[in-house]
Amino acid sequence: MFNYNSLFTERLQQLKNNGAYRYFLEVNKSAQHFPNFYYVNEEKFQRSAVNWCSNDYLGMSTHEEVIAKLGFITHRSGTGSGGTRNISGTTNHHKELEITLADWHKKEAALLFNGAYQANVTTLQTLGRNIPGLVFISDERNHASIIEGMRGCKNEKKIFRHNDVKHLEELLYAIPADKPKIIVFESVYSMSGTIAPVKTIAELSKKYNALTYVDEVHGVGLYGATGAGVLEQEGQEQAIDIVNGTLSKAIGVFGGYIAASATMVDFIRSFGSGFIFTTSLPPATCAAANKSIRIIQQNLELRKSFFENVRLLRSALIENEIEFNPNDSHITIIPVTGATHCRKVADQLLQQQGIYLQPINAPTVPVGEECLRVIITAKHLPKHINHLAYSLKKILHARPAIYEKAYI
């Protein structure tokens, strides 16, 4: 008889053996003290630490007005929506948020999902299943949700080398001109912090009559004159067909969305299973996200101080001789090769220095590219930055124990 349990145990043991098993730290947030949080250590003592891997980039999840909005609308409308968008789950708050998002991205319409993951999977799958012969042309570094979306349909897929527009053009050139095609990429790559050459990709899409789909999950709220993202910064909003974004990172609330032409949005709304057959976002979540976006749009200072913090962080790392991968974004990658070593460094940072940095291992990044992904927020202070740089130096530059012994 098939032994299900032994299969699960064996596969889990493999993960543990190669250091890729995921342990969840209980990061007990404090709205008042963010980025500090509380956790209980292995000896069952409560400890405080500084969060260096939250995607709450601007600290909007702790913003008084956003919290107040969530509470107020929850009291008025209740906790959940109680239905799918089609069956009693659409409120004025859903509609208002979709209008805000469409305007922000300079698109005709937007569509809410329960996360950007779901928005990616549903939109790509729906396009693949409904456009006969559609070919996906995808950057090799695309997020798991994009890959999952493309896997969910049987369309042909072509993968171009990361941000390599020459390779992209070779692939486009090789596809018959009358075949429908879509270029799928991210604006800010979550695990490398690299930024896509959006303008060139848009130009190529026009030349070869391809649709374009961009995941702006790590761009929205941060880049551009009103924080709409990299497309706004580069003046490319009109040039890209479909934008995907999240309400859960810089906006600090919860949910995801796409923004596109009215026809495209109506198409996904009408044919996207992952949109149609799920309970809609709670009304208060929509209202709070809308409030947060309004604050971000009007608060250039907040975004400026965020990027000033990125600059301060990188100067402190350079001063302390901590190597990191150069890029033009806010995501700072410190390579720490080897899954087990990377986890050990992260454990030491937490236990000895009160610094929480999640080790990033395969399959999130390719084997050999294990790293600490440092995320600074607008709420980190110079004292936090200095302490991080000092602690990284102390742990990463520590002499291996074998040398210490040789000296005794």
Ligand X SMILES: Cc1ncc(COP(=O)(O)O)c(C=O)c1O
* Backbone conformation region of residue 60, classed left if phi is above 0, alpha if psi is from -120 to 50, else beta: alpha
Q: Which is nearer to ligand X, 168 or 360 (CB)?
A: 360
- DSSP H or E segment with residue 87: none
Nearest-approach distance from CB 292 to ligand X, in angstroms: 14
Residues forming contacts to ligand X in the complex (CB under 6 A) are 115-117, 120, 143, 145, 186, 190, 215, 217-218, 246, 248, 256
Q: Which is nearer to ligand X, 117 or 208 (CB)?
A: 117
Nearest-approach distance from CB 221 to ligand X, in angstroms: 12
> CB–CB of 248/105 below 8 Å?
no
Structure tokens at 407: 């000296």
Q: Which is nearer to ligand X, 376 or 385 (CB)?
A: 376
- DSSP H or E segment with residue 247: none
Residue 69 to residue 308: CA distance in whole angstroms? 29
Q: Which is nearer to ligand X, 37 or 213 (CB)?
A: 213
Is 107 annotated as catalytic?
no
Nearest-approach distance from CB 90 to ligand X, in angstroms: 20
Residue nearest to ligand X (CB): 115
- DSSP H or E segment with residue 333: strand 331-335
Nearest-approach distance from CB 396 to ligand X, in angstroms: 25
Nearest-approach distance from CB 186 to ligand X, in angstroms: 5
Nearest-approach distance from CB 73 to ligand X, in angstroms: 21
Residue 93 to residue 364: CA distance in whole angstroms? 35
Q: Which is nearer to ligand X, 189 or 324 (CB)?
A: 189
Residue 188 sits at the vertex; the CA angle it makes with 182 and 191, to the nearest 5 degrees, is 105
Q: In what order do the strands lie in the sheet with 109-113?
A: 109-113, 256-260, 242-246, 211-215, 181-186, 135-139, 157-160
| C-alpha neighbours within 13 Å on the C-beta side of residue 289 | 31
Please pick, among 107, 181, 249, 379, the residue that the annotation labels catalytic: 249
Q: State whether residue 381 is helix, strand or coil.
A: coil
Q: With DSSP H G I counted as helix, E B as strand and the rest as coil, what are the percentages for the chain, rounded to 5?
A: 45, 15, 40
> CB–CB of 238/96 below 8 Å?
no
Residue 390 to residue 242: CA distance in whole angstroms? 43
Q: Which is nearer to ligand X, 121 or 392 (CB)?
A: 121
Structure tokens at 200: 């060139």
Active site residues: 249
